[in-house]
Chain A
Amino acid sequence: MSRYIPYLLELIILAPLIWLLVYSFLVPFVKKLNENIPIIAIKILGILILSINGILLFYLINNNVSSITLNLGQWFSVADYNFLFEIKYNYESIALSFMAMLLISVITKFSETYLHKENGYHRFFLLLSLFICGYNIVLVSNNIDLFFMGWEMIGSTSVLLIAFYYERESAVKNSFWAIASYRLCDIFILVGSSLAHFLLHTSNFDEINTHIIEGVHGAYGGSEFIFLGILFICGSLAKSGQFPMVSWLIRAMEGPTPSSALYYGALSVSLGPVLILKFYPFIMHFWQLRLFLILIGVITFPFAIMISKSKSDAKSILAFSSVMQLSLIFIELGLGLKWLALFHLISNAFVRIYQFLRSLNTISDFYENPMFFRGSILETKSPEFFFLTKKMQNRLYYMSINGFGLDALLTRFIVGPWMSMLKFFNEIEEELTTKTKQEEVDKRFSEHEEEMRSL
C-alpha cells in the first residue's frame, strides 16, 4: 500500500489545482456556464480529499508512524537556493484538512441555493476553488516557500471576496484595509524566511525545528532564534485578527454570508495557529516565545470580548467571538497544550460557521422568543467586569464602540505615512503618463460605443 501513498499525497495538492485551472478557463470563455458544474466538481473534490485523509490516517495508525514526508519536485533553483515542493503529512494536517473539507462542502451546498441566479456566481466558486487549493497547500507544505504560496492564495481570495460587490465603494475600500493588514504581516514572514535562510540555510520546517533545538548551528545564540520566532508569530497576527491587527476584521463583513462565515468565522482566521503549529517544536523550545504567544492571547482576549459585547450587528459579533476564541487558542499553544488547541480550533470553526450561516435568522429568533418582550430580565449584564464601578463600565462600553481607538492609531502611524508615500509615487507616475491618458479616454469612448451597438 505504501507504494501508492506518494500519489495520494500528490493528489491532495494536484486535484484542486487541476480543477482550478479547468474552471478558470471555463468561466471567461463559456457563456452561460451551467451553475451545477462547480458544485459537482467541489463535491467530488471534497469526497476525494476526505477519503484520502481517511486512508492516510489508517496508514499512519497502521504503520505506527507520526508523519509522512515527501518531496514532489523542484520548481526552480538559484545558486544554492531550491524551491522545493516539500510535503509533510501528520495527524494535525489530517485533522485540519478533514475539518476544512467538511466545512467547504457545507458552504458549497449552502451557496448552491444561496447564490443561485446571483451575478458573480462563478466568481464566487472560482475564489472558493482557489481557497481550497491554498488551504491544502498550507496544511501539507513542509517549507516556508510553499507555505507562503498557499498563504497568499488564501489572502488574495479573502480580499477579493470582501470586495465581491465591487460596485459598492465601501466594499472596495474595506477590502483595502484587509489587504494592507495582510501585507503588513506578510513582511514579517518574508523577513523571517530570509533570516531562516541566512541563519540555517534551509526553509524546511522540520530542519528549522530540529536544527534550532539540537543547536546544529551553534554559531548563533538563542537571541537570533527568538527574534526569528517573534517574526513568525507576528506574521500570524493579521490572519487571525489578533492584537493589534484587529481593525480590518471590523470592516471585513462585506461579502456574501457564506464567504464571511468560511473566512472570518472559521478557516481563514485559524491560519495563525496553523503557522504556529508548523514551528511548534521550535517555539516550545524557548520560554520567551511561549510567553510572547501567551501575551498576545492575553492582550487580545479582553479586546475581542469587549468589542464583541458592544457590537450590535450580527456578523461583527460573531467575527469577534471567533477572534476571542483564537486568542485563547494562542494562549493554549503558548502553554504547550497542542492537542487541546487543535480541538478548540476545530470546535470553534464549526460553531462559528453554524452561527454565521443562520445569522439572518436573528430577528425571527428574538421575536419568536417568549421572553424577548420582557425587557427586564434582559437587562444584559457583563459579569466579567463586576469589579469595576458603573462609571468605568460605561467608559469601557464607549471605548469598545470606538474599537479602542485602534483604527485611529493605525491610520495615524501606519496607513497615513504609507498613503502619503503611495500618493508621492502616484504623482510621479501621473506626470509620466499624462500622454497616454488621452489615449485611454478615447479607448473608453469606443468601448461605450460598442456597448451601444450591442443594445
Chain B
Amino acid sequence: MNIEKIIDEVRVYLPIQFPLGVFIHNNMLFNFESKSFDQGTTEASKVFGASLTLDESYYFNKYKEGKITDLYLKPEIEKYILENNITENICGIKTKELFYSLMLNPFKVPHSVNFERNVVSSQFEIIFDLAKKINVVHEPHHSQIISKSWKNNFKADYQEDVDGYFWPLIIRFISGYLDQGMAVWANPHKEIGLLYSFKEFIASNNGMMDECFKNLKNDLDLIYNDNSVSALENTLKQIHYQTANLEFLTISALELRGWAGMVQKFEKEPYLIPRFVSKINIYDYLTIYLLLEKQVVDFLLKKHSLNGVPAVKHHFLEVDLTSEQKAYILDKIFILFPKVNLNFFSFEELNTLINVVLEFDLFHQSMIWHKALDYNVRNHFLNTIFSFNKNKQERKNTYKAQFLFCIDDREESIRRHVEESNPLYETFGVVGFFGLDMKFRSIHHPEAKDFCPPVVTPSKTICETHLEDGERGDNNISNYGKNLLNFFYHSRGSIGALFFTFVSGPLTTIILMLRVFFPHLALKFSHTFRKILIGDRLTEINFQSINNEKSEHGYTTSEMASIVSTILKMSGLTKNFSKYIFIIGHGSTSSNNPFKMAYGCGACGGKAGIPNSIIFCKMANMIEVREILKSSFYIEVPKDTYFISTYHDTSSDLINIYNETIIFSQDKIEFREIVFDLVQAAKKNSLERCRHFEKAKGIKTPNEAFKHVNNRAHSLAEPRPEYGHTNNAFCIIGRRELSKELYLDRRSFLTSYDQSIDLDGEILKVVMGGAVPVAGGINLDYYFARVDNEKFGSGTKLPLNISSLLGVMTGGCSDLRIGLAHQMVELHEPVRITILIESSNDFVLKAIDTNQRIKKMVTNSWIHLATIDPITKEIAIFHNNEFIKYDPININLSEVKSSLEYVQEKSGPLPYVRVRAV
C-alpha cells in the first residue's frame, strides 16, 4: 500500500495542540468530530488508552447530593439494556431494577472470598451450597480483555523496558531540533532536515553511544535517502519484528504523541511557529523512531537469545470463578432482593444472572452514571430557564450606563454584580474581539499578533506608534528586549554567568525574597524599573486608513461603521442608548504559568483584548462613523453617548479605563460614580470567586477578596491563579432578559442576540459562528482534560518543565504533554455544553447549515443544542437533525436578595436561584 496514504491516516490521530505560547482552546478530539460523540470518544479511548469517565464514586456522590436524579438515571439504564440486548427478566428480577440496585450498591467480586470478613446474609450457607452446583461459563466481556503489546511482554517476561533504551535519546534530539531559542546553542542543521541532522548526530557520536546502538550507523547509512518518504519505506523494510501496517505505524507515532504532534504542526502549519521553523516532516520523525526502536529490539533479542519479540498475549480476567465467588455474587443479589428465592431457578438461569452481573461492571456503570449526569445537567438547566421565564421581562427605555462584556463564562458573575448594583445598568455579551479582524502590533511587540479568533482571518494590521521621540522609544524597547535575552542566556551556561553570579548574588537574594514573600511589592518595583529603562512615552494607535482609502493598515470610515453596526446589532443594542457605553475587553494575569494563554480571552487568540476595546471605542466615538451608522444602518447613537474602553482582568479583577479623557467635565462626577460601581462589582466578583479557593477561607469582604486574588495573580508560587472556565456547561444566545437576575454560578457563556432586530437570520449566523465553536472548544478541552488528566491533559503542574519553548514535559525527559493541567480542571464537572438559542428553529437550522464546524459538532452531538422561542417560550432540543419539542418541568426557584449573600462561605456548585435586588 502507498506509504503516503497510510501516513495520512496516521496523521488524524496526532494531537492538534499548538505550541503553548499560542495556545488556543479546542476540542482535543477535533479529528474525531466527523463521527458521533459516542463512537468518536470510544474510538479515541481505545487508541489513546484513555478513560472516558471519572470514578463511579464521583457520580455516586453527585447522586447523593441530588445532582443526578432517578429521572435520568433509569432511562439510561434502560437504554443500556436495549443497546446490549440483555434479557428483561432474570430469575424473576427485572433487569433494570437489578442494574439500578447494583449501581446504588456497587461491589466488585473479590479474588478470594473470606467468609468471616465479608459481610454476608444469614442465608449465605444455603446460597453457598447452591453456588457449588452451578457451572458458570463466563464469556469475558470485550472490556475485560486487556491486549498487551509486545513491549509490555518484554517488561513482564524479561524485565526489559524497550522505550527506556531510546526515548531519552530521541526526546533530547527532537527537542533540540525544534527548539525555539531555549538553548543557547541551536541545532546547526535546522534548515536541512531532521534525518540529515540525525545522521550528523550519529556520526559525531560514533562509539559514544549505548551498547544497543552499535549497528545504528550502518543501518542509517543503509536506509538514508534525501527523500524522506523513501527513507521511511527503506526503514519499514528492515522492520522484522512486526508487520509494518497502518496499525503498527499508528501505534509507533502515538507513543510519543506530544512530540509527533508538534512535528506535524511544524510541517503543516509552520506559520503558527513564532521563530525558527525547522524543516521537518513526520516521515523523518517516524524513520528515526523506528530505526532506534529496531536497534533496541535487535539488541534485546540477541541479549536474551530470542527469535522474535514476545507474541501479543490476551489476558483474560475473571474467567473461572470459584464457588465462593459465585456464592458471593448471588448473596449480594439476595441482599438487594431478599424476596427472590434463588432456590426456584434452574442452574442455567442462575448462570445467566451471574454473567449479567459480572458484565455490568464498574466501567459500564460509570458510563451510565456519566450519561445520566450529562442529561441531568442539560435538562435541569432547560427547566430552570423555562421556569424563570414565566414572567416576561422587557428592556427599559432609559439606562444610566450599558456594558458590553465578552461572552466568556467568567464574566457571568461580574455582569450579575453590575446589574445588581443598579437596576439602570444594562449588560450585553459579544465576542470579545469586538468584530476587529486584525493583527495588532504594539510598541512593545514589534511583531504583529492576531487579535481575533482562529476562525477569522485577519484582514488588517494595525500598528501602535510613539507620538513623540519615536526612534528613541523604539530603540529603548528593543535594547530592553535584547538585554533581557542576553541576560537570560548569559546568566546560565556561559562564561558571562561567572561574573553575573558574583555580581548579582546579593541582589537576587533581595528580589527572591520580595517575589516570594511580597509578590505585590515586587510587581511595583519591576514596573518602575521597566519604566525607567524604557521611558514613558505617549503612543497612538493608527487604526484609520490614510485618506480613507482601502488599505491593509487601517480601516476606512465605512468599514468602521459596518464593524460598529455589526457589534451593536449582534448585541441587540440598537436603541435606548445610554450616555455611557463601556466596551470591556478581558485578559488574565498570572505568574509562573506556562498555560497563561489558556486563561486569556479566547476570542482574542488567548491574549488580553485591550487593543480591541480601545480601537472599537475610538471608532464608535467618531462623528463620521455615527453619521454613517445613522444614514446606512439606521442606528441612531445619541451625540452625547460615550464609548468607554475598559479592561477587566479575570484573575486579579482589576478594572482599567483607557479613555477617561474624552469625558466632558460636567459629566465627570456622574461617570466616576458609574466607574466606582463597576470596580465594586469586580471586587464582589472576586469574593464570589474566592469561595472555590481553600486558601481564601475566612475572607468576608469584597476588599479583602480583591487583595487575595491580586496576590494570587502575581504570586510565583500559585498553580491556581484562577479556576478559568471550570464548570462551564451552558451557552445562552439570546437577550439578557432571558437570564437576568438568574444566578448561574459562572457556568454559562452569555451571548446577546435579539431576534426582533434580526429579520433574515443573518445576524444569528454571525453570532453563532463566533460563539459556538469557541464555547464548544473550551468546553470539550475541559471535559477531556477532566475525565482523563493523564492521557488528555498534562497531569499535575508541579513537576512540569518547559521544553524548547513549545510545551511542557513532566520531569526532565518525557513526552511533550498536551491538554490542560490537573490544577486547572480539578473542580470541573465534565458535561457537554448546552447551547440554548433564543430564536425560531428555522433560523438556527439555516445558521447550522452554513457553518460546517458547527454542523459537525451539533449533528454528531459533541455539543447539545436547544432553542427557546422568543414569544411562546417553547423549548426544543436538536436531535437527529431536527428540533424536538421538550416538555419542561417547572422548578420552584428560590429567591435571594443578592448573589453575594447567597454564595458567601459556601463551596462546591450551588443551585440556581433568582436574585431579586431590592
Contacts and interface: CB of A to CB of B under 8 A. Distances in A.
A270 to B, nearest CB: 13
Contacts of A114: 717-719, 798
Contact of A315 (B505, B508, B801): B801
A118 interface: yes
A346 B505 CA distance: 7
B505 A309 contact: no
Contacts of B814: 170
A363 B20 contact: yes
Interface centre among A113, A173, A251 (most CB of B within 10 A): A113
A131 interface: no
Contacts of B594: 360, 362-364
The dominant DSSP class at the B interface is: loop
Interface size range on A against B: 35 or more
B118 A449 contact: yes
A374 B501 CA distance: 28
Given A366-B21, A408-B211, A455 B108 contact: yes
B497 A325 contact: yes
Contacts of B44: none
Interface string A255-287: 111000000000000000000000000000000
Interface stretch (A65-73, A219-227, A348-356): A348-356
Interface centre among A117, A312, A402 (most CB of B within 10 A): A312
Contacts of B495: 305, 383-384
A171 B274 CA distance: 32
A316 interface: yes
Nearest to B811: A254
A313 B171 CA distance: 11
A421 B274 CA distance: 51
A95 to B, nearest CB: 12
B501 A408 contact: no
Contacts of A171: 811
A374 B189 CA distance: 20
A427 to B, nearest CB: 12
Contact of B274 (A373, A442, A455): A373
Interface string B444-465: 1111000000000000000000
Contact of B813 (A170, A360, A453): A170
B478 interface: yes
Contacts of A312: 175-176, 179, 182-183, 803-804
A344 B503 CA distance: 9
A382 B184 contact: yes
A117 B505 CA distance: 33
A398 interface: yes
Nearest to B117: A449
Interface string B217-240: 000000000000000000000000
A411 interface: yes
Nearest to A307: B493
Interface in A389-404: 390, 393-395, 397-402, 404
A399 B207 CA distance: 11
Contact of B181 (A110, A116, A252, A366): A366
B189 to A, nearest CB: 8
A169 interface: yes
A381 B302 CA distance: 44
Contact of B276 (A361, A375, A442): A375
Nearest to B164: A173
A174 interface: yes
A423 B279 CA distance: 45
Contacts of A390: 188
A253 B485 contact: no
Contacts of A309: 183-185, 493-494
Interface string B492-515: 111101101110111011011101
B275 interface: yes
B593 interface: yes
B485 A371 contact: yes
B308 interface: no
B872 interface: no
Contact of B185 (A350, A373, A382): A382
Contact of A373 (B175, B445, B797): B445
B383 to A, nearest CB: 33
Given A370-B445, A402-B205, A321 B516 contact: no
A390 B189 CA distance: 12
Contact of A370 (B21, B183, B446, B720): B446
Contacts of B208: 399, 402, 404-405, 408-409
A325 B803 CA distance: 23
Nearest to B806: A363
A308 interface: yes
Interface in B856-876: none
Contacts of B556: none
B163 to A, nearest CB: 9
A353 B478 contact: no
A325 B805 contact: no
A174 B811 contact: yes
Contact of B492 (A308, A404, A407): A308
A347 interface: yes
Given A380-B186, A382-B184, A357 B516 contact: yes
Interface in B874-905: none
B201 A398 contact: yes
Contacts of A449: 110-114, 117-118
Contacts of A395: 204
A412 interface: yes
B209 interface: yes
Nearest to B159: A423
Interface in B43-95: 57
Contacts of B504: 347, 351
Contacts of B173: 401
A411 B211 contact: yes
Given A310-B185, A402-B209, A365 B488 contact: yes
A442 B505 CA distance: 58
B694 interface: yes
A358 B497 contact: no
B478 A371 contact: yes
B252 interface: no
B100 interface: no
A321 B108 contact: no
Contacts of B506: 347, 350
Interface centre among A117, A173, A344, A411 (most CB of B within 10 A): A117
Given A111-B717, A360-B797, 20 more contacts: A115-B798, A117-B694, A117-B826, A252-B812, A254-B811, A310-B176, A313-B802, A350-B509, A354-B512, A367-B21, A370-B477, A371-B482, A373-B447, A375-B276, A380-B183, A398-B204, A401-B176, A404-B208, A412-B210, A445-B112
6 contacts: A118-B796, A304-B493, A313-B801, A313-B804, A358-B592, A380-B183
Interface of B: 20-21, 57, 106-108, 110-114, 117-119, 161, 164, 169, 172-173, 175-176, 179-189, 200-201, 204-205, 207-211, 274-276, 444-447, 477-478, 480-482, 484-485, 488-489, 491-495, 497-498, 500-502, 504-506, 508-509, 511-513, 515-517, 591-594, 596, 694-695, 715-720, 796-805, 809-814, 826
* Chain A to chain B: the 4 pairs with minimum beta-carbon distance, closest first: A347-B505, A308-B493, A405-B208, A371-B481
Interface of A: 102, 106, 109-118, 164-165, 168-171, 173-174, 250-257, 304-318, 320-321, 324-325, 328, 343-344, 346-348, 350-351, 353-355, 357-375, 377-380, 382-384, 390, 393-395, 397-402, 404-405, 407-409, 411-412, 442, 445-446, 448-449, 452-453, 455
